[in-house]
Amino acid sequence: MLKVNLVSFDDLTEEEQQLQPNNGWGKEYANYIRITDGAETVMILSDAFEPEDGTFTRDLCYVVDAINEAYKIGLRDGKKLKGVS
């Protein structure tokens, strides 16, 4: 089941914290979106970037990936509910 949650740096595992960019005011002060599929973390999005870099062709390009991944998971889950393989 797909879930999307707004989380803080402290909500991330130590490994996830290590992987986050240290841009903007710093990763400790960023906000995060955690996308999970069951117990698996699919993607973590961060707003830790310089304001002038906040464009869809630069630091926000991962939003497209997140939407596509959510779509794929939704299709998969919908097929399971309908009993289609």
Cβ-Cβ contacts under 8 Å for 60 (sequence gap 6 or more): 49, 54
State the pLDDT at residue 43: 94
Where exactly are the structural domains of the chain?
2-82
pLDDT along the chain (85 residues), means of 10: 93 95 86 94 89 78 89 91 75
Cβ-Cβ contacts under 8 Å for 11 (sequence gap 6 or more): 32, 34
Coil/strand/helix, residue 34: strand
By DSSP bridging, strand 31-37 and strand 2-8 are antiparallel
